[in-house]
Structure 1
Amino acid sequence: MPENDLSLLIDAAKASGDIALKFFNQDPESWEKSNNAGPVTEADLAVDAYLKSTLLKARPDYGWLSEETEDTADRLACSRVFVVDPIDGTRAFIAGRESWAHSLAVVEHGQPIAAAVYLPARKMLFHAYLGSGAFLNGQQLAPPDPKDPKAIRILAAKPTFQPKNWVNDTPPEFEMHFRNSLAYRMALAAEGAFDAMMTLRKTWEWDIAAGVLLAREAGLNVTTRTGGSLVFNNANPMVDGVVAALPKLHTQIIEQLAPA
């Protein structure tokens, strides 16, 4: 049952936080990954090793997909797969900012069914399971529709609002904000702290699998940048961008985006 998987994810996320906090603001060893894949630290690897050992011991028949584990095709034959980012927002972690997260999901037949996004430095635990709502520290999330269409607050990176990405080279006049962690951006949209989140770049599944379920269970529409369905556990574990917002705003954003 998803609920049983959720309890497993929550416990693992909390334990991951204990591990990561031992390295946080302690000048952990870090280096750049190959192919311009970004930074990694000894904390990322320690959390990854813990999660892989703990989660697969509990569910040996599940597949495994993690940013910090070499991928194999074995997971493609599994009906359920752990999709994990040990530390989402590693740049923030290195810089001593608190907006990094552990992002854990169970995906079944291509769709997330259980999710935990935990920010240990902020003591924020987001969780969701399919059909049962999304929660922050035990309080159910119910984001309101934006009150002022001229004051939409959206989480996105600056390149998102380059004119070429929008119909008639005209970006909408949204108030733009940024967080390093994609999982945290999706959680904040699910919470209603911001009206939407989006990224137009090809996006790794481990960055968003947990956040997608959070947003969906909070009532948001979540699609690719073209409005298509998101499917996980792909052979190449990437999706075509993400747009997450309540239905009316989601439609508005998709209609204003230029063709990919």
Structure 2
Amino acid sequence: MSETALSILPAWDEDLELILTAAVAAGDTALGYFRKTLDVRWKNEGRSPVSEADLAANDILKGRLLGARPDYGWLSEETDDDESRLVRETVFVVDPIDGTRAFIAGKDLWCVSVAIVHRGQPVAGVLYAPSLNEIFQATRDGEARKNGKAIAVREAESGAVLKVAAAEDVMGRLALPYRNTMMRVSHVPSLAYRLAMIADGRIDGTIVKRNSHDWDLAAADLILSRAGGALCGLDGEPLSYNRPTVTHGVLGAASGTALPALLAASRPLEPH
């Protein structure tokens, strides 16, 4: 590739620094509310809580990110959807607190999730878990890192029992004989953090129920893929982001060696 072509490539490393700085600022602000009495309301017909910490973190992210990149689109769990994002090539995809229920309950497994999506694919992503002092990050062309050190998925050995994060009712519906080769790990309330646990080798995979959202997935999807794993639909196809519909069907995520068995085991979860 010529020097001229290289010079006009998007500077995802610069964007990574931008979203990293913003995620830390938002996460540290949220941490100031953690384990304190919170103003909490319910949305989506009472199914999803949102706290004052979510909104404060969202305001920081939106102000910093769109202030620096006003030509980018915006998609956040805590902002009314603006369909103008659909005509933008590049979009911020944000969850100010992924794992709000855990946050409200005073549990540590929550994180700030920030991704930059370009033409439907994540190109820079950050997860910041303030109460655990952990930062995961990646760009499309770089390695996945946790607190500055490269991470990689744990490749499953033949015949090994896979450590899988999934709801109890999901595990009970997995196809035999795969079910007997998988061990359910304790509930991880943040979906983004659950994917990061695959990326750094703590668990082997996860099965995601229907109706996860772009903001739950985009940053962690990139981090996992750069660590040697994959997140996909049960058909094996990768996800696309910043579509008119921001929800997804049943998904599987794992290292390359574990993914085929995980997807095969999950076939009974597909709607008929």
1:162 and 2:172 matched:
yes
Q: Which amino acid aligns with 1:17?
A: G
Please report how far the alpha carbon of residue 248 of structure 1 lies from its aligned counterpart in structure 2 after TM superposition: 2.0
TM-score (norm 1): 0.94
Give TM-score, length-normalised by structure 2.
0.90
In structure 1, C-alpha distance between the alignment counterparts of 2:149 and 2:177, rounded to whole Å:
41
The C-alpha deviation readout for 1:187-218, integer Å capped at 9, x for no partner, is 11000011112213221110010000000000
1:41-190 alignment to 2 at 5 Å? Answer: 41-147=51-157, 149-163=159-173, 166-167=174-175, 171-177=179-185, 178-190=187-199
1:256 and 2:249 are equivalent in the alignment: no
Q: Is the 8 A contact 2:213 2:246 kept in 1?
A: yes
Corresponding residue to 2:252 among 243, 246, 249: 243
Tell me the amino acid that sits aligned with residue 243 of structure 2.
Answer: N
Structure-2 separation of matches of 1:101 and 1:149: 33
Larger-gyration structure (1/2): 2
Asked if 2 retains the 8 angstrom alpha-carbon contact of 1:200 and 1:225, the reply is no
Q: Structure 1 counterpart of 2:179, which letter?
A: P
- Structure 2, gaps ≥5 residues long: 1-10
Q: Which residue is equivalent to 2:8?
A: none
Matched letter for residue 183 of structure 1: A
Partner of 1:230: 239
CA–CA separation in structure 1 for the residues paired with 2:168 and 2:41: 25
CA-CA distance at 1:93 after TM superposition = 0.3
Deviating more after overlay: 101-110 vs 15-24: 15-24
The one-letter code of the counterpart of 2:68 is A
Give the equivalent residue in structure 1 for 2:222.
213
Q: Flag the 1:63–1:172 CA change in 2: closer, same or farther, 3 A.
A: farther
Stretches of 4+ aligned residues off by more than 6 angstroms: none
Whichever residue aligns with residue 192 of structure 1, its letter is: G
In structure 1, the residue matched to 2:212 is: 203
Asked if structure 2 preserves the Cα contact closer than 8 Å seen for 1:153 and 1:196, the reply is yes
How far does residue 172 in structure 1 lie from its aligned partner after superposition? 4.2
Deviation at 1:225, TM superposition (A): 2.8
| Amino acid in structure 2 at the alignment position of 1:171 | R
Matches of 1:75 and 1:31 in 2, distance apart? Answer: 27
In 2, the alpha carbon distance for the partners of 1:51 and 1:133 equals 24
Q: Could you tell me which amino acid in structure 1 is paired with residue 239 of structure 2?
A: L
CA distance in 2 between counterparts of 1:195 and 1:170 reads 14
Residue type of the partner of 1:223? C
- Counterpart of 1:16, as a letter, is A
Change (3 A) 1:35 1:172: farther
* Percent of aligned positions that are identical: 37
**Separation in structure 1 between the aligned mates of residue 256 and residue 28 of structure 2, nearest angstrom:** 37
Stretch of structure 1 that moved more, 250-259 or 24-33: 250-259
Q: Distance in 2 between matches of 1:173 and 1:238?
A: 30
Unaligned runs of 5+ in 1: none
The amino acid across from 2:184 in the alignment is M
